Chains A and B, each alone.
Chain A
Amino acid sequence: MTVEEIARSLDLTVLSGGPRLSQPVAGGYASDLLSDVMANSREGDIWITLQTHQNIIAVAKLKNLSAVVLVNSRTPDPETLQKAEQEGIVLCRTADPAFVFSGRLYELLGRGKG
């Protein structure tokens, strides 16, 4: 399933998109400690977080994540959005809290895949 298909199915607002929207999604990772995401997320994961600092884009790029989803309708810092556009990282927003969004994504991706 691609990032774009997931964005459509789960009503995500795409804040910054580009060519990576058609990338396949491998799984998901939910964490707000960026050091933990650097250590434990996997390539192609959708990262679910409430952190809005521009370093989220650096981490997403470093780990080659398929998208970053900001929960609770959080607004990214202006530099974050700018960096996302520059680096071609998919940045999305959901009104769901992390628990709810993780559950919906887990279900959509199918048990065992996440």
Chain B
Amino acid sequence: MLRVFKADLHVHTCLSPCGDLEMAPERIALEARRRDISILGICDHNTAENTPALLRAGERNGVSVLPGLEVTSQEEVHILALFDRVESALEMQKTVYDHLPGENDEDAFGPQVVVNDRGEVLGFNPRLLIGATTLPLGDVVRRIHELDGLAIAAHVDRESYSLIGQLGLIPDDLDLDALEVSPRTTLAEARSRYGNRFPLTTASDAHFLRDIGAAVTEFVLEDGTVPEIRLALEGRDGRRLGH
């Protein structure tokens, strides 16, 4: 049966160097449930190592978790990669790690904490997750689609690290599934600014618990999976965006 799903498709965890240490799996899932969010996209910078723990915490709290990454392209454009299966997210992570130079400096950028679903520390990721990959934007999007994921340009209304900020305009041949706008821009404003070429979503980009759900996208779906969201973005089979 089709029903409305409230989704926050862009949430960080304590693994992102800029993510608050409170962003542990159970607390994120609880906060989502408290705000009636039924689909969470977990997208840490250039890594998916905390997504298995988030999936388990989401299951306990009745929240569908989509494992993902926020990939930084060579042009320093942020692209959300969202998948149904952890295995696909980890495949994407492998491609990213193969093209991600540098080591993290905790004093400069913050700690990168890998945790289990109870929030216990499993280790620290040593990579420069805040850095840029050497992957051109087009390659990032192609790789996401090879793995059956959704490729969404993150916070296009921001100047830094956004598709439009970095590249001025949306390349003609870029096969994105949607453009995401940040909570500072309404979907109506975004529509007038960015036109009808791509569907629009909005999400919190939360790095702190209090920001989860600061912006959400409503979808009319059968269930909270990537194929259903894809149908909704394309407006097919009765699936659609709620806005």
A interface residues with partner B (beta carbon < 8 Å) = 32-38, 51-55, 58-59, 77
Contact = CB atoms under 8 A, between A and B. Distances in A.
A8 B58 CA distance: 62
Given A33-B159, A35-B159, A55 B167 contact: yes
Contacts of A51: 75, 166-167
A78 B25 CA distance: 43
Contacts of A37: 168
Interface residues of B, number: 13
Nearest to A77: B136
B136 A35 contact: no
A35 B164 contact: yes
B169 interface: yes
B159 A55 contact: no
Contacts of A54: 171
Contacts of B160: 33
B28 interface: no
B137 interface: yes
A37 B166 CA distance: 10
Interface of B: 74-75, 136-137, 159-160, 164-169, 171
Contacts of A36: 159
Contacts of A58: 168-169
12 contacts: A33-B160, A33-B166, A34-B165, A34-B167, A35-B164, A36-B159, A51-B166, A53-B74, A53-B136, A53-B167, A55-B169, A59-B169
Given A34-B166, A53-B75, 5 more contacts: A33-B159, A37-B168, A53-B137, A54-B171, A55-B169
Contact of A53 (B159, B164, B165, B171): B171
Nearest to B75: A53
A35 B171 contact: no
Contacts of A53: 74-75, 136-137, 167, 171
A7 B169 CA distance: 28
A39 to B, nearest CB: 9
Contacts of B171: 53-55
A54 B159 CA distance: 19
Among A34, A36, A55, the most chain B Cβ lie within 10 Å of the Cβ of A55
A31 B74 CA distance: 16
B136 to A, nearest CB: 6
A59 B168 CA distance: 7
Among B75, B159, B160, B168, the most chain A Cβ lie within 10 Å of the Cβ of B168
A62 to B, nearest CB: 8
B40 to A, nearest CB: 30
A48 to B, nearest CB: 16
Query: Can you list the 4 inter-chain pairs with the closest CB atoms, starting with the nearest?
Result: A34-B168, A55-B167, A38-B168, A35-B168
A67 B85 CA distance: 46
Nearest to A38: B168
